[in-house]
Structure 1
Amino acid sequence: MNHIQKGLVFLLCTIISLLYKVDLSAQTVVDSLKRVLVQPGLTPEEQVLTRLKLSRALLSTNRKEALANAQVALSMSRSLKDSKYAAQSHSSLVSLMYGQEDVKRVRLQLDSAFTLAEQSGDPYTLENVWYRKGWLENRIGKPHDAVKSFQQALKFGEKQPPNSYATSIYYNLSAVYGDWDDLENQSRYAFASLDAAKRFPDPDDICNAYQAIATSYEHRFAGDSSARNLLDSSLYYNRLAIQYYLENKNRISFPSVLGILALNTANLYAEYFPRSYRDSAQHYLRIAKEIGVATDQQEIIASSYGMQSSFELADGHYDAAAGLLLSGLHTLQQSPTPDNSLMAHFMSSLSEVAEKKGDLPAALSYAREHSKYYAAAFDAEKMAIAKKLEAQYQAQQKEQELISLQEKAAFNKKLNIAYVILIVACILALLFLFRSYHFRLKSTIQQQALLEKEKQDAILQVRLKEEEAKTLELEKQEAALQAQLQSEAAARLQVEQQLMQAQKEQLQKDLLAGTLQVEQKNELLQTLQAKLQEKSGDRNLIGQISRMIDQDRRLDEDFETSKTELENIHPEFFTRLQEKAGNSLTRLDLKHCSYISMGLSTKEISSRMGVAPKSILMSRYRIKQKLGLGKDEGLDAYLMTVAS
């Protein structure tokens, strides 16, 4: 393979890699989608999906308009109940913003897409965002993570109807394994891409699948050049893709794919076949050039000139080779952003041709131009590597932060469990101490009551013995008196009988008084025992303990139910507003602006800010004056523009 052909192979790889990065578009598809948008009766959901399709169709021709349509779709999706539409809008912005915005802002779009997709729970939307995650990871140099994300996307798509995402996932997986020289998996996923494309018959997907299979056969042939059947298979699928394109060109969204396929086929003939097959190579170069002119693809046109120049150079036609190279160089210079690597390649080829012609000054001049473009390409490559490394660093840093937050959350969860266990243990300990104290108090009261009763019994027994002794003494005195007074008269006997009666009554009174005193003591003991029993069930004590438990429970509930309102407004939003208003906006005005940009209605804003809707309308008028907006300029539309 000569120097020019190697450069063309590099160009082919560059163009093919672009296929991984952009969605397909065409003017006819754009016109069709624009006609759909103006149809009456189109629901908001249908408008969002149509604008997302239009943004993908405009990506390769008008990125600015594509981005504007995606942002309008995002603004409209915020008012829809189903969050899947907002998730798909954020996912679309990932591919639209990549390359023009820093990776950190692109990742914010992806994070928003994931959050909204998980809220919706829609498998198709989850397949979408996981595919987009793998797509982004592959762009920032993390192919292993990309493969995992693609596999996760396929899991969500298993039970879904056939869709274009499955084809794109298999196509990207085939490319990743091709970069890893895993030819078996590259071929397997290429055929899986074709199978998925046929189940969801999209012409662009089928062409891409044929191209992926042709590339896999080409890689396998490069590893074993003796297996010519692999080369024939690569040519077969390239020609099959071209034939399919020609049969369905009115349905193809990206006509330049034919130019890539034609260049690839011409390169195979030029590199692996003898000179007698040059006509075949020239045939496919003409196809590539025609498609490049029709689709305004300067790289394809220039590559066609470069490959033709290699044929002229091999035949010794130096002037013709130089003329073709200059035509290709002129074509590249017409591009708004010519590829420095390709420009350096053309300068190198021109220097080689001039040297062979003997024109050393021209060769030196071209060599200097080659050095200039090569240095620019090298600087651009270093910048791209630096951005990729920065993106990897940011991704790793974010993963570390996520791991740290997960560990912190796990620790807090364990700490909360420990607190709950400790509180339960304290409550059980208090209950145990209370029951133990109650049991001991009851036992002590019973023992005191028993001792008091025994003491009273002993006192009564002593008194009874004293009374018995008194009775015996009286009986003795009475017997003595009876013996002494036997001789007295009946009057004396009567007096003695009265005296005995009096003594008997006094004794009854004493016995009655003792009995009443015992009953009064018993009643006092019973009352004391009842009071103590009532105190053991004292509701105040139980109420105090209950209030302590309720207070602890409320503290737990307050801790577990605390919330923080999250404002999803990017940091430059308030800065831009203050610059527009000359730093005249108050904190309340800024808060009002943030709610409007979030898509909240006047009623919702008044509820959140705790004021009447009329006050919100007055505040909106005041903010509009501070921002210097005209009567025909809407505050909502302006804030949406600043927020995006």
Structure 2
Amino acid sequence: MKTLIIVVATFFTTLCYSQTEKKIDSLENSLKTKTYPLEKIEVLESLYTTLLYENPKSSLKYSLKAYQISKSISNNKKMLNAAYQSGVSYRVIHKLDSAVYYHRIAMSLAKELNEDIFYAKALSELADIERLNSNKEEALLLFNEAKEIYKKNNEIELLSTCIGNIASVYLSNGQFRISQKLYMQALKTLDSIDADPMFKADMIARIGEIQHNVQNYEEAIDYYKQALKVYTEENDNVWKCNMYLQIGTSYVMLKNYDSAIENFSESLKIAKEYSLKSNEAMLYTNIGALYRETRQFEKSKVYLEESLVFHKREGFTFNYIDVLKELGSLYIDLDEPNKALEYLDLAITKSIPSKRLDYLMDLYKLRSLAYEELNNTNMAIKDLKEHQKFKDSIYNSNKNQQIEELQTIYETDKKQTLLALNEEEIKNLHQKSKVDTLTKSLYAGGMFSGVSLSIMLFFIFKQRIKKNKSNQKKQNELHKKEIEHKQKELTSLTVHLVQKNTFTQELIENLKKLKNNPEKFNVEFRRILMLLKKQTADDKDWDLFKSYFADVHNNFDNKLRAIYADITEKEIRLAAFLRMNLSTKEIAAIFNVLPDSILKSKYRLKKKLNLGKQTDLCDFLNSL
């Protein structure tokens, strides 16, 4: 059975890879035919998006080319996009200095163009680089600045991701409780808006990392596998590689070495295929450590020395101390203390500036063993004292972290409580005039939504009419047909408004209860929040819309399921809005996501429907 699963997985991976290759070939051929700079840039952007997480090194080539062309024609908006994309690719392949350089360019351009979201995204990338470089305080400052921008612009998906990134800083600092709390908060928010599964997978993977750090290794593996499933479905090779590595690491801690080496090998294969050099170096270290643990010293030496060569050649600082530490341990096991000292001395020298107390504690203990084998008692005792000093420092540091963690949780809860019990809001609840104003606002908001949607539908209808000016008769027929269609669609929207008004009445009743019984504030406040969440998450509106849409468009959703049985509700919604000829920007507004996310979803939908490169997705959906 296991073999069958592997064969099927390999088949689908090969199929996806083949389709990607075809798309890349098509785009590259298209690039050759383009003469205008802007046309070239758009094709280069598509190539970048296609390859970012499948082959980041190749994607970088296209973003850099787009940047040069944009610069040559002084198109700052395109320069901004290309600079940001280049920074992301450099970070993925762990060229952090280059990533910082391009993100700073992006931030400068974003400020000049008043592009707040791009500014915050580049800021978040810089913060993550600071986190990787162990500059945790600076990372938190930058992430929190980005968070406020996302919050101000109501970018829920990006806000949730930013909260997850803040949680990562606390995780790397050993503050697991606050980290888990923030991850769960981010995950809950993403669930409420039906977000891109990739964002959810990132959060789940981080929760797995927390479980690993608190030694719940089996739970960690479960979380990692959940995330791996999504990354595999989305063909995200970077994070597939990371998940196999993490799963293997947890299996090592469970002393299940066969499963560990199986996952490490899968991760190494992906790292080599897609030039993920930092991952490749790290995997050589982990495999070498595993073989040392299982007393296979010659195999261990091969992998650890290969890892050391990688780190020196590529200039990696991340994980470098781990390699030196493992080599020191290996040569102690091989009874070669002088060789062990060579690596341990260098590891201690590298660890002191980074203030890694955990590394220093272990390294001094290992070096004392090497000195003991050389019968150098004085140095052995001296290093044991250093080991104990750092052990005590870690104990005190952990205590301080726990206190800081509790304080952070307290401050966070306090801010949330103050927000919920805002003095001005409490006064408003006790004033009838304010309640009336709220009621009117809710009605107006519902009517505004209806009017906006009606205007949008009318605009689409008007655009369609313009295409048939040459034939008056056809125009009239189309006009009549579209009116009938829109009447049915507007009936759906009318039902939607009725539901909104029902909800409004229920909310008013709860507010009245609050006014008459101030002491019941806490209970009723929670009930109102639940109502609001229920209203946001309720799918009744979609079910009604889908019903009317099916009447107008001849069971559209059933036709899609006949082509691809496992198509999701979210994909059917996307297809329906594309069938109505809504623009990417309009659909993004409906889904409350960025236009880039919709473009990515369209690409995935086309891939699921097995449409050829010459087939336009919208044309195909209109033909159903």
If the TM-score is normalised by the length of the shorter chain, which range does it land in? 0.3 to 0.5
Pick the structure with greater CA Rg: 1
TM-score norm. by structure 2 comes to 0.44
TM-score norm. by structure 1 comes to 0.43
